[in-house]
Amino acid sequence: LISTHGSCTMSSARSPARCQVCWSPHDERIFARSATELKLYMVVQDDVKEERLTEIPSSLRLSDACYAKQICTVPEEDAHAALKCVSWQHQPDYPYSFAVGYNNGRVALKRFTINDSGAVVYAPLQAQALNPRGHRGCTNVSWNTLHPNVLAVGLERSRNDSSLLVLDTSVACDPTSAERHRQISAPLKAIGDAPLQMESKIMFDPGSNETTCSLSWIPATMHIAAGMISKTIKIYDLKDDLARSRPQMTAIHKAVNCLSFDPKLHHRLVSSAENMICLWDTRNFTKPAFTCTLKPNTVITQLEWSPVSPNCLAILTNESPYLQLMDIPFAASGSGDVEILYNDYFQWHSRDRMPYSSRAAGRDALVSFAWNPITENTLIAASGSGDLQLITAHRKIPLTWGGSDQVAFISCHGSMCASHQHSPDIAMEMKRRAKLGYGFNPSENLSVVGPVQSLRQLWLWLELYKRLLKEDKLVSVLGRKSHGSVPGVQSILEGEFSPKRTCSLATPKSMHHHSSINAAESPDFVMYHSQERDACVLLCGWPSLDVDGDLESFLKREEMEENFERAAAIAVFHGHVRRAVTSLRDGASLANQQGEGARSNMLSMISLGVAGYSPNSANLWQNTCASMKKDIKNPYLRAAFSFLSGEDSLLSVLKESGISYQDRVAFACHFLDDKKLHQYLSHLTSHLITGGHIDGLFVTGISHKSGLDLITSYIDMTSDIQTACLVAGQAMPFTPKEKTVSSWFESYSELLDQWRLWHVRASLDIEHKKLDSSHRPFQQSHLTCSYCNKSIGTRPERGVSIGRQFGGERGQAPTGPKVCGDKVSILLYPLPSRVLFALTQTVGSRFPDVLSAFST
């Protein structure tokens, strides 16, 4: 197993050909891979293609964004000994030093150096860390992090020799000592004698001859924990010379494999036995603080704490293509029963399963993994076939919504982070609008909604509709009985307000383009007129053709708002090409004065193109302007060119998405026959409802079921319950009687109560009552008798006076006080003075004691 400190431990039941990986403690890009030989790799961040990767010698694919490039290899020195475990030394002076354990018990020291050219090369050492007597396997090697030259070695059982040794490799790793050893060994080698074996000094030998299953150093200390095959975990303190012969702490338990100390909390230790994980607290080492059992028939092969992310434990089981991440909660000392704390935590938190491979490769079982000691949430995993993959392990992190548009969360380092949303929170936006007076008045709402174009179009249309009603311009179509309803274009054209529930047929009429620029005649465009169509055109905000000067007033108003492109397009749609050229030239002049050179040049070019229009040379003009349309970015100018081109002009204008829905519907009412118009409106209604386009209510209307469907879709898209209530209230009491509308008002009222906007809530109820007389706000305060618990200040029912509720006739005082058993409740205790407003004045004349009680 690869530990968090670059060490490697291994149980005796594992295969000797197991591929192992470990990260460099000095460089986050370098890692080692060992199977039959030890190899060094460097991670290269490059999404190189697979066919190019084959051209790079000794390279391995790690992920879609990186690959591993081999930088050096240790040649196989002993064909009869298989490599079983490896550990990377924490020595800054020699960043590429290793201890390698073999199945014959030998422990060798391997070192790589950097030559003059900057390349990493293998530099063999003459020293042997350990060469034990007899043939027994080396199960574990691990370097100490506090003293880099101290090496712990775990061995299999031997009758006479210890299976746990701690070595001092200072002499073996010293280059000066190695050179002196070479000089002494050279003469012996010359005469044929065997050279002297340079071995490390044994600094700790507890004398235990049982197999060491696993071992782990307590980080940054000289304490070591060893799991023995006799179902015992022993912790030794190597600083105390007198206590070396006996362990400082001992725990008897069968979970003696895969020992690993938490690098963040040094008192926490994990171990395993088959499918069981034990969490130990060295402050109370009598029993495990928590025990977790995985599913049956699984054997845990590796446990390793994350060296960067706190409380994160990675688990690997046999024949599994997955790594499991477990969050271990922190338990402070003196926090009560730690076992209960952990059991309660894991009862509600399930383990995360992280897939080994995201590619379509085979799902081979993992055999080892290693955390990157520097980079957060990064590890490398090795499969049984020797394939490697770099994985980013995303943990669950605690997060919460803030009071505004923020999300707060805890990073892996334990620090608080906050992120702003790119889009504002709709709840905060509704609260802001409510404070600014967002209500049932369309004119006031325009200053509240700000730059939200869909809401501006909505309230502009409702303001226009109320103005048209006030000026009696829709009476001929809607009548006076339906005053207060808010119909749409579709319902008007379907004849819902006609006595016969039918719409009159449209009358076609020829239109001529009144132009004196290179034109004597204009092409004939058929325009359709009817009473309903003219009303719909007014609802869309276009001028009436029956009122002289209405079009000119409309165009001047658009020019005052600097909408020269829209003014020119609508002038063209009404046949006034000369007037369109005037708007374009005025716009070009104003844009030039404001320093908008690009817009000025575009308007000047378009004005020349429109001025050159002539029905006598239509083909030549169309060919010339066909290339110009591609460079025109403004949708209204493109629509004007499409309209004058003649071929498929109507369809091109209606498909121009940059033009507002009102302008497109008004255009359709002018130029489409009855059948095509109904088809277009039906298709447009479906599109508006599907997309939740609230500014399309002028098509469906509010007092129509399709309008409620559109508002419902808008709520689903935006959660803006506030606008839904205020818009639905515009058509009351003509809004369809459905529970949906009442639920909107209830939800919005509850929001106002939660925000403690009491005045806004009261204004909402008052306006709601004015719009719908059947609406009765829910009574929130009651006055009850303290003896019978019945209300004595209930609101009178409609048509019943207070005197009648107390037993008297209508308009008369009650004949006696209200009695609860043998006590007169309203005489015994004084009531608030406000209750006087709920009683008639005649009470005082008949019952003076009652009045005196109230006044008290």
Q: Tell me the chain's radius of gyration from C-alpha atoms.
A: 44
The larger pLDDT score, comparing residue 561 to residue 206, is at 561
Tokens 């938190």 locate to: 349
For 428-457, the pLDDT digits (tens) are: 899 999 999 999 999 999 999 988 899 999
Distance CA 710, CA 695 (A): 10
User: CA quadruple 298, 325, 223, 243: dihedral positive or negative?
Assistant: negative
For residue 649 the two structure tokens come to 């002009």
Distance CA 557, CA 563 (A): 9
Nearest to 538 by CA among 485, 466, 442: 466
Cβ(338)–Cβ(267) below 8 Å: no
Distance CA 226, CA 205 (A): 13
Task: Please state, in angstroms and as integers, the Cα–Cα distance from residue 211 to each residue in 11, 136, 257, 617, 726, following that order.
Answer: 10, 10, 11, 103, 79
Nearest to 355 by CA among 391, 380, 386, 319: 391
The larger pLDDT score, comparing residue 667 to residue 376, is at 667
What pLDDT score does 510 carry?
65
715 confidence band (pLDDT: 50, 70, 90) = very high
The larger pLDDT score, comparing residue 369 to residue 246, is at 369
For 478-530, the pLDDT digits (tens) are: 766 555 678 888 888 887 766 555 566 677 776 654 443 334 445 557 788 88
What pLDDT score does 115 carry?
84
Share of residues in the chain with pLDDT > 70 (%): 71
What pLDDT score does 751 carry?
92
What pLDDT score does 190 carry?
40
Distance CA 136, CA 145 (A): 27
Beta strand 232-237 with 223-228: parallel, antiparallel or unpaired? antiparallel
698 confidence band (pLDDT: 50, 70, 90) = very high
Tokens 């070591």 locate to: 224
Say which amino acid occupies 262: D
361 confidence band (pLDDT: 50, 70, 90) = very low
End-to-end CA distance of the chain: give it in Å, rounded: 86
Beta strand 127-130 with 198-199: parallel, antiparallel or unpaired? parallel
Share of residues in the chain with pLDDT > 90 (%): 22
Say which amino acid occupies 500: K
Distance CA 281, CA 265 (A): 10
HSE toward the beta carbon, residue 157, CA cutoff 13 A: 8
Least confident of 242-256, 405-419, 649-663, 677-691: 405-419
Least confident of 218-227, 718-727, 731-740: 731-740
What pLDDT score does 631 carry?
76
Least confident of 42-46, 322-326, 778-782: 778-782
Backbone angles phi, psi at 322, to 5 degrees: -120, 150
Three-class HEC string of 108-139: EEEEEEECCCCCEEECCCCEEEECCCCCCCEE
Cβ(52)–Cβ(378) below 8 Å: no
Distance CA 279, CA 225 (A): 14
- The pTM for the full model equals 0.53
* Mean pLDDT taken over the chain: 76
